[in-house]
Amino acid sequence: MIVRVLGSAAGGGFPQWNCGCPNCRGVRTGTIKAKPRTQESVAISADGASWILINASPEIRQQLESFDPLWPREPRHWPVAGIVLTNGDLDHCLGLLSLRESHPIVVYATQATRDGFTEGNALYRTLERFPGQVTWRALGLGEETSLGNDGAGLGITAWPAPGKLPLHLERHREPSSGDSVGLVIRDRRTGGRLAYFSGVAGPSPQLDAALADADVVFFDGTFWSSDELIAAGLGTRRAEDMAHWPLGGTQGSLPYLAGLKARRRVLIHVNNTNPILRDDSDERQSVANAGAEVAEDGMEIAL
């Protein structure tokens, strides 16, 4: 299985359009050691020919163009056999609306994520112009489903990753266990296992079980500390209020990740305020000391 990181930043990207924090200013002006990053999405393939996207970011067009295996190979063609949504946040779904050029697409999502995106959404009609324009495939929790057209290729299991409702649905519906999921993707030929948990609110026995046998783990790298936004004067909510487990500190996710037996631990969905974005920061060194790494756009891993 090949995993290609198309985008590694949290919602807003890095730099974020309305942010003048030291990281965003520094990456714009080239005065810090850091690379810009687009919003989180990865492409996965068992054979290098047929691809699956995890999440459809607002920068999907640029991301598809950035990686030539995702280019069309015929006058009308798309080598992407399916798009998996980990939740209904707009930084994971908005890209779907950019795929409106009359091409059939297949989307894997929980019922909660599907309903949250399609119900009452007038813009979604652009993907309902002909029968079969979007085929939704249900992601059940804890059951393996085949991904893509080739049943022998990849199997996917979604696990509840307790989080929160997408911002635009808060106060409009009750939270449910399908609102946010982590994924285990298994290559049925090689047995390689990828765990993909880009939004994790905190430790849980289910998380332990899902990560136990993974060869490679992609994990929530949104915030270094609980009060990162508050300390920077950028917001009032703590990391936990946004359902993200901060990396730093003795109770942080970094010591937890260090204890996994996976051979690679990759932090993704990194918020633009996070000091791990700076290649020479102390926090980046702590990531390395924990045997982990920070995802960047264009990173590729084979497993």
- What minimum distance in Å lies between the beta carbon of 112 and Zn ion? 30
Q: Quick one: 82 exposed, middle or buried, by C-beta within 10 A (0-12, 13-18, 19+)?
A: buried
24 or 294, CB closer to Zn ion? 24
The type of residue at 161 is A
Which 261-280 positions form the footprint of Zn ion (CB under 5 A)?
272
In degrees rounded to 5, what are phi and psi of residue 115?
-60, -40
- What minimum distance in Å lies between the beta carbon of 28 and Zn ion? 10
Q: Binding mask 5-34 vs Zn ion (x if CB under 5 A, - otherwise)? A: --------------x-x--x----------
63 or 272, CB closer to Zn ion? 272
Q: Residue 123 has which token pair?
A: 């813009």
Q: Are strands 41-45 and 51-54 parallel, antiparallel or unpaired?
A: antiparallel
Return all residues near 134 (Cβ < 8 A) that are at least 6 apart.
Answer: 96, 104, 105, 106, 107, 127, 128
10 or 19, CB closer to Zn ion? 19
Angle at 190 between CA 185 and CA 194, to 5 degrees: 25
Residues in the chain: 303
Which 187-206 positions form the footprint of Zn ion (CB under 5 A)?
none
In degrees rounded to 5, what are phi and psi of residue 300?
-135, 135
- What minimum distance in Å lies between the beta carbon of 19 and Zn ion? 3
- What minimum distance in Å lies between the beta carbon of 238 and Zn ion? 17
226 or 272, CB closer to Zn ion? 272
Residue 239: which of 221, 255, 256 has the closest Cα?
221
Q: Quick one: 198 exposed, middle or buried, by C-beta within 10 A (0-12, 13-18, 19+)?
A: buried
Query: What is the total count of residues that contact Zn ion (CB under 5 A)?
Result: 4
Are 103 and 96 within 8 A, CB to CB? no
- What minimum distance in Å lies between the beta carbon of 16 and Zn ion? 5
Q: Is 208 helix (H, G, I), strand (E, B) or coil?
A: helix
99 binds Zn ion (CB under 5 A): no
- What minimum distance in Å lies between the beta carbon of 21 and Zn ion? 3
24 or 200, CB closer to Zn ion? 24
4 or 278, CB closer to Zn ion? 278
Chain residues binding Zn ion by CB under 5 A are: 19, 21, 24, 272
